[in-house]
Structure 1
C-alpha cells in the first residue's frame, strides 16, 4: 500500500510529534510506504541523516500554504505512479486533496463532502434541510448583506469567513463603530465587487463545547466532549486564559452531544472514515451546532484528544484509514479515556526573565512554551487573542477535579514564568 500525505500543519515544531506517528502506523501495518509533502524547514528540524525505511519521499514544497505548488507537485507524483490513499489532515489541504483524489480516481473524501465540511453556509443549509438544530447565521457577500444581518441579529455579533484557517479574519463586533471598521476590513480582503463569502452570527453567552473524535465504517468510533473555558474563538479577550475541560463521557450532557454529532454526520455527505472537530452551543433548547470540520482540532484541542485516548489524533485517523487497529499504537479503548484538560496560558508582555523547562505539578502531562517565549526575550503587547505563553495538557483523577487542577496550573504559571518590564533585572538566584 502506498500513501501520499499532505502534512501542512502550521506550527513547525509540531512536526516532531506528527511525522514519527505516521512512521509508527506504517511500521505497524507492515506493508505501507509513505510519500510526504511538507512545508519548508521540516528536514532541518527533524535532522534525519537517513529517512526511516517506511518513507519513500519527504519533500519540502516552497510556498506550501499558497495554492499552486502543492497541487502541481501532487499531480506530477500521481502521473508517475499509483497511490492508494491521499491523506490530508489539515484544514488548508482538505479541499485540494479532495480535488486531487477525484482527478486520480483515488477513494476518500469527495469534493462535495469536503465543501460541506469546509463551507459554513453550505454546511448549515444541509443541516437545516435535515431538521438538525444549528446556531443561526446569515450570508454576507456585500455590505448590504452585512448591515441587514446585523439589524436582524443585533449586537454583539460575530463576522467570519465561510472557510478559512483557524480563527483568522474573525471579527467580534460589539458596537456600531466596530461594525463599520469590521466590514471595511472584510471588503479590503477581496477584489472590488467580488462576493465577500463571509457569515454573520449572533454572539452568545451560552456555554460552548467542542466534540472531537473519529467516525469509522459508518459509526462513531470515539467521542470526547469538552467545554471551553475563558476566551475562545467565540469569546476572544486579550490577556485571558483559554482552553477546555472534558465532560464525563458517561454523563447525560455527553449523550446529548453524541446524539447531535450522529445526526450531523448523517445529514452531511460524510466520508466513510474521518476525524471530526465540532463546536456546539448549549442553548436553553438543547445543543445546536455552530460548525463541524472533517479534521482534527488545532492546538490545545488536539492535545486534549491525544491525552484522552493515548494516540495523537492525526496518527489515530491515519491508522483507521490504513486498516491498523489504533490499540496497537496505544489507544486505551473507550473504557480507558482519561479525564483531560488543556489550556493556553494567559499572555503577558515584557522581558522574559525565567521560563521553566518543565512543569513539576504531578497532574501535568505536557508543558510547551510558545515560540519566542525564551529567557532574555522581550514579548511585545498582545496582538491576537490567541497569543499565549505556552500550551499545557493536564489530567485529574476524575472529571470534577479538572477545574481545581486548572486553577492550580494557572497559579503555577503566574509564579514560575517571570516577566518584567523591559530593562529590569532578572530574578535573584534561588536559595
Structure 2
C-alpha cells in the first residue's frame, strides 16, 4: 500500500486518542487543532515543497502525484491524520464534456469507517470531478480532505484530442504545515491567519510575524527598515521602509510618507507692488494672487519661518515697505501680520531685506499656511516686492527640512540642512 496513515488501521490501538494527543508536524490554528498541509522540503533544498506534486503526461488525460508527507486535520474529537505517500500515485481524468468545461480537484482524502461509515479505513489520493458548465466552478472539497491541485478540463478534451495542457490547466494549491514553533513556508496567495502572536511564516521571500490580528513583516521585531519591494501596505503606524526610489518612508496608518520630507519647489520672479497701508496678500502688477507656503507641524510644535524680499519705495527715501508673515490653521489666524515680525526696507534703490522668526506651540501633524503680507507706510508711495518665503521644522533639538517646503509662484521657498538649534536674537534700532 503506497498511501498510509498512522493510527488508522483497526488493530486494537487507541487510534483517536493517539491522533488527538500527537504533537508532531502541526502548525497550530487553535489551542487543540493544527493546520492541514504538506510537509515542506526538497532534494538539495532548492524548492519550498515538492511533496505530493502533480505531474501530467503531455498529450494525455493522465497525471501522477509524487511521494510526500502530509497532515490532515479533522474535528477535535477525531484529531489529525498523519499521511505518507511512499510511491507515486497514477491518476486518470475523465474526458472533457461535449459542450462545457469543468474543474476537477486532486485531493488527499481520509476515510475512517469509525466516523464516516464509509466501510473504509485508509488514506487515498483521488480526483473529485467537477460539473461541466458555461462558467465552471470547482466542486466542494470532501470532508477530511487536503486540496492539492485544481485541474481545468476543457470541453472536448481527450487523449485523442491532445490531452490536458498541463502547464496551464493545473493550479498548485498545496498548503504547508511544519512542526510547532517552526517557520511556515507558504504560497503567495495564502490568507490563513496565524495560530498565535509570535508565529512566523516565509511568504514571497519575506519573513512575517503574526501580531494577533495581521501578518507583519519581520523588520518590526528588529525595529528595522523593510527593504525596497517587500511591503505594499504597512503593518503598523510608524513602520519604515526603503522605497524603490531609495527614499526612507514611514507608514502613517493609511499611506507611506517620506520619513524626512524633502523640499518641493515652485518659482516666479514676477514682482508686485502695493500702496496699501494695511497688510494685504495681493499685489498689483503681477499675475500672482498671493505668496503662500504650507507646512506640517513637527512633533516639537516649533518651526522657523524665514522671509525676505528685494524691495524699493518709488521716489521716496522715508517710506518703508513691510513684508510680514501671516500664519493660519484653516480659517484660524495663528499669527497676524505685524511690523514687529516684518522684513522692512526703504529707498528708491532695490535692496534685499530678510527676517527669521520662531513660532512655537503648534499642533503636531496639523497643516499650517504661511502667507506673505505687504504694506506701505504711505498711501501715496508705491512699494515693490520680489520675495522669498521658507520654513524649517524643529524636530526635538535638531532642525529638519520643511514637510513639504514649497517654492511659491512668486517666491522661492527653501529648507536648510539639519543643524544645531539656533539662538534667537532680536536687534532693535
TM-score tier, shorter chain, comes to: under 0.3
Query: TM-score, length-normalised on structure 2?
Result: 0.23
Which structure has the bigger radius of gyration?
2
Query: TM-score, length-normalised on structure 1?
Result: 0.23
1 or 2, which has the higher helix percentage?
Answer: 1
